[in-house]
Chains A and B, each alone.
Chain A
Amino acid sequence: MSEPIKVDIWSDVQCPWCFIGKRKFEAGVAEFGGEVEVEYHSFELAPDTPVDFDGTPVDYLSDRKGISRAQANEMIDRVTGIAKAVGLDYDYDHIHQTNTVKAHELLHYAKSKGRQLEMKERLLEAYFLNGEHVGRIADLADIAADIGLDRDDVVRALESEEFLADVKADVAQAAEYGINGVPFFVIDGKYGVSGAQEAQAFANVLAKVASEREAVQ
């Protein structure tokens, strides 16, 4: 039996294309049909955002990017429509814009417990679908407990910044790959796929890796 194809994915919890891209990637893997091993890596899109950002995503876009509120609303409407097309009901009326470094630490904590994939899905749901806060330790601990992780131990790990160095190592590795946007997929350590591609694009590159492996056997 051949080894699964390793896919390393750089992503941020409050990146709308990362959740959409996740669904498209999953569809691509299903289309490919072979074994794939996924590992998520941290990428902070806006590391200077305060944990308790006081405002809506429209406030954030208009204040920080200098675009009009009407344009910001149009952008959000469009991305919400695209999310819906892959089965995701983004709820921008209840999103809490925040700093995601603690969410990334939690993803590394979950990885250490063999639960990273469930944690990633749950955090994206929390932010985009459920209106939950993904920046505060107490809220993150509740979310982690929801998938069966030890709430008190999560609080301890996040308060002590036990996994902060792992988050920073992921960010540094992204720079080494030249990654400046997410989602970004590194497939078998040699192919890079940027953005929320169509499922077929993921299936194609996975099939290419599989056929290359067969050719050298």
Chain B
Amino acid sequence: MTDARIIPLTIVGDPTAAACVGDFCEIPEHHEQAVVNARLDDDNV
């Protein structure tokens, strides 16, 4: 069994930011809301 070494990093920023994990790329809910807001802006609603 391999003994994976972990190099410590201080994680900063939004922990829910969109990322691809494995072969799946999730879209957090706040991103969907951002798109809706952008469309409303585009439509000048």
Contacts and interface: CB of A to CB of B under 8 A. Distances in A.
A27 interface: no
Interface stretch (A132-140, A148-156, A162-170, A186-194): A186-194
B41 to A, nearest CB: 10
Contacts of A191: 9-12
Contacts of A49: 23
Contact of A197 (B6, B7, B13, B35): B13
A195 interface: yes
B1 interface: no
Interface of B: 4-7, 9-25, 27, 31-32, 34-35, 38-39
Interface stretch (A12-20, A29-37, A115-123): A12-20
Contacts of B23: 45-46, 49, 64-65
B22 A177 contact: no
Nearest to A185: B13
A175 B20 CA distance: 15
Interface bin, chain A: 35 or more
Task: Return the 10 tightest CB-CB contacts between A and B, nearest first.
Answer: A195-B17, A192-B9, A46-B23, A195-B19, A181-B21, A181-B19, A201-B13, A15-B20, A81-B35, A193-B13
A166 to B, nearest CB: 19
B12 A205 contact: yes
Contacts of A147: none
B10 to A, nearest CB: 5
B25 A175 contact: no
18 contacts: A17-B20, A45-B22, A46-B22, A64-B23, A78-B31, A81-B38, A81-B39, A176-B4, A180-B21, A194-B11, A195-B13, A195-B19, A196-B18, A196-B19, A201-B12, A204-B13, A205-B12, A205-B13
